[in-house]
Every structure is written in C-alpha cells, then in structure tokens.
C-alpha cells in the first residue's frame, strides 16, 4: 500500500522481484497525488521462502524537482521480523539497483535501512 503525497503524479520506472510476484494483476504504472496504490506481493508458489522486491516511482516535488522514490521489502516466511524501506535520494537509485544484485549486499541494505 503506497500513498502519493508528492503534489503530482507518480510513475513506475523500475521494479525487481527477487522472490515472489504480484498476485493476480499488476497495479497501474502511474497514480495521481492523493491516491493510494495497492497490490499484494506473494511468495513463490509452493516455496516456503517469503517475498522480496522493490519498486522505483518517479515524480516531481511541489517545487518541480524530479525525484525517484524507492519502496523495498523483505517479508520472511513465518518470521515475525519483516523489513520495509523507502529511499528518496535522486542520485542513489542506479547505484542501489546494481548493489541489490548481490544477495549478501541486498540483505545488508534491508537490515541497515530499518
């Protein structure tokens, strides 16, 4: 569940599903200010491993500056401890997605960000 309070529309510009997928139907690729975006990300079928993914949304601030917003999550199978992170640094995303490619480094980012 993501709420857009940026002052303008947000558009999906990148996504990564390390474990799992969006259940049934992908959400819209863009949504306006004041709207909610809802989707259910589920673990891989018949595997007890949880769900890990990230989405990058692009929008403009009220001052007209273009910003990228990343929402990332790691929900473990049957564990009480789950991690969800958001980032708003516009220069960090390319670096983070290359960094996320490594399993060990990706786990470190999720734990350090919460």
DSSP codes of every residue in 82-114? -EEEEE--TTTHHHHHHHHTSHHHHHHHHHHH-
Beta carbons within 10 angstroms of residue 55's beta carbon:
21
Model confidence, pTM: 0.64
Query: Where does the pLDDT of residue 88 fall: very low under 50, low under 70, confident under 90, or very high at 90 and above?
Result: low
User: Which residues, including other chains, have CB under 8 Å from residue 15's CB and lie 6 or more apart?
Assistant: 53, 54, 55, 56
What tens digit of pLDDT does each residue of 7-57 get? 889 999 998 888 888 888 888 899 999 999 888 878 777 777 778 888 899
| Residue 54, pLDDT score | 86
The structure tokens 């589920």 sit at 42
Question: Is 43 or 68 the better-scoring residue by pLDDT?
Answer: 68
Q: How many angstroms separate the most distant Cα atoms in the chain?
A: 47
With pLDDT > 90 as the criterion, what percentage of the chain qualifies?
A: 11
The structure tokens 């007890």 sit at 48
Domains of the chain: 2-113 (2.60.270)
**For the residues 86-92, what does the mean pLDDT come to?**
53
Contact 56, 68 (CB under 8 A): yes
Please choose, from the candidates 68, 59, 17, the residue with its C-alpha nearest in 3D space to the C-alpha of residue 35: 59
With pLDDT > 70 as the criterion, what percentage of the chain qualifies?
A: 68
Q: In this structure, what token pair is assigned to residue 32? A: 């306006």
Query: Where does the pLDDT of residue 86 fall: very low under 50, low under 70, confident under 90, or very high at 90 and above?
Result: low
Distance, CA of 70 to CA of 67 (rounded, Å): 10
| Residue 103, pLDDT score | 44
């Amino acid at each position: 569940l993501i709420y857009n309070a940026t002052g303008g529309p947000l558009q999906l510009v990148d996504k990564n599903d390390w474990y799992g997928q969006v259940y049934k139907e992908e959400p819209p690729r863009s949504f306006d200010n004041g709207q909610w975006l809802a989707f259910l990300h589920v673990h891989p079928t018949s595997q007890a491993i949880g769900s890990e993914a990230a989405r990058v949304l692009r929008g403009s601030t009220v001052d007209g500056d273009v910003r990228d917003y990343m929402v990332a999550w790691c929900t473990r199978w049957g564990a009480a401890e789950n991690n969800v992170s958001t980032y708003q640094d516009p220069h960090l995303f390319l670096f983070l997605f290359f960094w996320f490619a490594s399993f060990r480094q990706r786990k470190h980012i999720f734990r350090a960000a919460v």
